[in-house]
Structure 1
Amino acid sequence: MAYKIILDPGHGGSDPGANFNGRQEKDDALALAMAVGKLLTNAGFDVEYTRTADVYNTPFEKAMIANNAGGDLFVSFHRNSSAVPNTYTGVQTLVYNREGLKEKLAENINKNLTAIGFEDKGIVERPNLVVLKRTKMPAVLIEAGFINSDKDNELFDNNFNEIAQGIADAIIDTLDDSGISATDAQVYTIQVGAFRNGQLANNMAAQLKAMQFPAMVVFEDGLYKVRVGEFKSLDNAVEMEQRLRAMGYNTFIRS
């Protein structure tokens, strides 16, 4: 089964996003997402889109489209804006938190786009952003320059193909560094606890194993984390998560 990447052109339809001198964010986002998608498809990845035309879906609907499609990675495309035109410039990538594959991908996207000429506005954690919070897979949101910056618009228009290639290369290189190829599917696991005390984590894992759950303890980011199972199917992971939640565990799916 091919590794599935969900590309999300921001806004759409009745929601144009940011505007500047007749230019609409939704159009730039769609064009860039489609260009990146073509490159990823040619590289052998399974690519799906939250939209391919000028239609509107709520951010929650976009996240559900990605989840229902069984996506392994989610990339959302946007253009930034500021209150006063030509005040700020640069590329910025948003993540739910700076952890794992999504952080590395954000770093590589920013690196590749700054090499084209964009200022690096950094990586920003946005845990309350719906498309980053509700997607059950690693997710990033790219702000590909400021739409109300003449400098950034010139970079965007004159280097469009290079920008698309830079983003596609960042995705491919990040996955390759993580040992993931186009033919690999994402693995999902359910986290049921995180402790500073390793014995507490081991006690929870032992309790789960006694009930025939495939539990393990992983030390990560200074915490002992208790996880259950490794699933290639998101549906199977969701089913396991529901079983654990029904037993009173505070769970979430990791990928």
Structure 2
Amino acid sequence: MRYLRPAHGGRDFGAVYNGRREKDDNLRLVLAIGEILQNNDIDVEYTRTTDVYETPYEKAMEANNAGVDFFISIHRNSFPTDNEVSGVESLVYSLTGLKYQMAQQINEQLETIGFVNLGVKARPNLVVLRKTEMPAVLVEVGFINSDIDNRLFDENFEEIAQAIATGILDTLNYAGVIQENNYRVQVGAFRNRTYAERLLDELMEQEFPAYINDSGPYYRVQVGGYENLNEAADMERRLKRAGYPTVIVK
């Protein structure tokens, strides 16, 4: 299950430019992304589907209590001087793990539409990234006080929704997260996320397609998935030769 968050809402307009309100762009885009994900058999929950306000902390707690797998927060950016900066960027708690891969994928997809790719940045102080217990990505879909970005946003709205959804789906498919009845090779399980991220970084440096599965009580570092047991067994042998303890899971 995925949690989609349109930032701001209600009395909180977000950034405003020439009468354009960030909260409106965010909600419209989140609903379009959610429809695409649902059409691809992904369960989607929303922090809001109407113009209501909740604090970032409340939204993070809702996601935690719902037990969702991923948290995607959609924003529009702003800069002190109008029409000076343009582009998309994504924010994550740390530059590691599946959240980082997903943020990179989303940015790259949006770049194909014409946005400047400003990269992925670590923002561990943000509530929706710090308090969420699942991988979380905050996407800044262009600057609301950039005429260039607003033109891209309005003229390519459906393509933008598809680009973000594709970034999410491609990452999950690559990691084997959304495949059913598939085989994965588990390399470690930790109560402390820091230890899981250390192992993940080590595996990714060796180009293993690893990720953190934190859908249960432990942070499980896994590789795959694979449609048949033989493929999983081949990867398990590679990992064992590299010195890692492994177990094949479904």
Q: Same fold (TM over 0.5)?
A: yes
**Residue 173 (structure 1) aligned with residue 174 (structure 2):** no
Name the SS of the counterpart of 1:116 in structure 2: coil
Distance 1:70 1:193, change over 3 A: closer
Report the CA distance between 1:191 and its aligned residue.
1.6
Alignment of 1:66-77 (within 5 A): 66-77=63-74
**Residue 45 (structure 1) aligned with residue 45 (structure 2):** no
Q: Distance in 2 between matches of 1:42 and 1:91?
A: 25
Q: Distance in 2 between matches of 1:233 and 1:122?
A: 27
- Give the TM-score, by structure 2 length: 0.76
Q: 1:133 aligns with which of 127, 130, 135?
A: 130
Q: Unmatched 5+ residue regions in structure 1? A: 195-215, 224-229, 239-255
**Residue 121 (structure 1) aligned with residue 122 (structure 2):** no
**Residue 191 (structure 1) aligned with residue 178 (structure 2):** no
Find runs of 4+ consecutive structure 1 residues off by over 2 angstroms.
218-223, 230-234
Q: Distance in 2 between matches of 1:102 and 1:192?
A: 13
CA RMSD of superposed structures (Å):
2.7
Residues 9 and 77 of structure 1 are in contact (CA less than 8 Å); yes or no, is this contact kept in structure 2?
A: yes
Q: 2:12 aligns with which of 9, 12, 15?
A: 15
- Give 1:105's aligned residue: 102
**Residue 6 (structure 1) aligned with residue 7 (structure 2):** no
Q: Identity of counterpart residues, as a percentage?
A: 52
Q: Deviations over 1:134-182 (max 9, x none)?
A: 0110000000000000000000000000000000011000001101116
Distance 1:192 1:37, change over 3 A: closer
- Give the TM-score, by structure 1 length: 0.75
Structure of higher CA gyration radius: 1
Distance 1:180 1:237, change over 3 A: closer
**Residue 82 (structure 1) aligned with residue 79 (structure 2):** yes
- Give the count of matched residue pairs: 206
Distance 1:222 1:46, change over 3 A: closer
Q: Unmatched 5+ residue regions in structure 2? A: 204-211, 220-250
